[in-house]
Amino acid sequence: EVQLVESGGGLVQPGRSLRVSCAASGFTFSNYWMSWVRQAPGKGLEWVANIKQDGGERYYVDSVKGRFTISRDNAKNLLYLQMNSLRVEDTAVYFCARVPSSSWYFEKWGQGTLVTVSS
Amino acid sequence: SYGLTQPPSVSVSPGQTASITCSGDKLGDKYVCWYQQTPGQSPVLVIYQDSKRPSGIPERFSGSNSGNTATLTISETQTMDEADYYCQAWDISAGGVFGGGTKLTVL
């Protein structure tokens, strides 16, 4: 069974950093593009970042470029999102999601981890 | 930047057909997918590549995409279908783009 389990969320002050993780199991992690998608409280979904199987290509939504970094460890089946210079508007549940080959949608999702940016 | 527009809410009676639209510039030239999200849960993919259903999704769910509008159709709507629905496409410049979501009420 495909499982994606996020962790690392919490309360952080504006301007600080936080790293969230996603542990993958039940499939060959290194064969898939992976993504982060977020959802602010009571709001809709927003794609954040994608990373290629080998980490060689990464794409970001404009609002996080230069502040967030997506990465992965295929040996450990882990996906990361390093978030720097956090802003109040980054407050959201962060979901990791699996992207099928040669397609651009999110076929499996984790349960999400809440990041709250507040002073 | 590229945007997708959905109606905020749609209401339908049980057993009837619900249609949720998603509009965007030349959307028919892109693949569209749809997600269902119930309160407190993660989104679930219900339609991908305009009209394909993942395994485990009932045949009542169908999709189409042409021109500037994609449509999710739920036939014989059940109370369990009450949820938020999001369309999504990929734009070469904007990346992954979601619609604002539509709250489907079954009453």
Return d(Cα B83, Cα A36) in angstroms, integer: 22
Q: Do B32 and B99 touch, CB atoms closer than 8 A?
A: no
* CB proximity under 8 Å: B 29-88 to A: 31, 33, 35, 37, 42-45, 48-49, 54, 86, 88
pLDDT tens across the length of chain B (107 residues): 899 999 999 999 999 999 999 999 999 999 999 999 999 999 999 999 999 999 999 999 999 999 999 999 999 999 999 999 999 999 888 889 999 999 999 99
The model's pLDDT over A71-94, given as tens digits with 9 standing for 90+, comes to: 999 999 999 999 999 999 999 999
- Separation in Å, CA of B104 to nearest CA in chain A: 14
* Confidence tier at A102 by pLDDT (50, 70, 90): confident
How far, in Å, are A24, B17, B31, B37, B60 from residue B40 at the CA level?
A: 21, 26, 27, 8, 24
Residue of A nearest to B48 (CA): A105
Neighbours of B93 (CB within 10 A): 8
A111 CB near a chain B CB, below 8 Å? yes
Return d(Cα B34, Cα B49) in angstroms, integer: 9
**CA B62 centroid distance within chain:** 9
pLDDT number for residue B94: 85
pLDDT number for residue B91: 87
Task: Give the one of B45, B95, B100 whose C-beta lies nearest to A106's C-beta.
Answer: B45
Chain A hits for B35, CB-CB cut-off 8 Å, are 45, 106
- The reply to whether residue A104 touches residue B44, judged by beta carbons under 8 angstroms, is no
- Separation in Å, CA of A47 to nearest CA in chain B: 5
Question: What stretches of chain B adopt beta strand conformation (E)?
Answer: 9-12, 18-23, 32-37, 44-47, 61-66, 69-74, 83-91, 95-98, 102-106
B1 CB near a chain A CB, below 8 Å? yes
* Confidence tier at A53 by pLDDT (50, 70, 90): very high
Return d(Cα A13, Cα A22) in angstroms, integer: 22
Return d(Cα A26, Cα B104) in angstroms, integer: 32
Reduce the DSSP state of residue B97 to 3 states and report it: strand
Chain A hits for B54, CB-CB cut-off 8 Å, are 107
Interval A8-35 mean pLDDT: 97
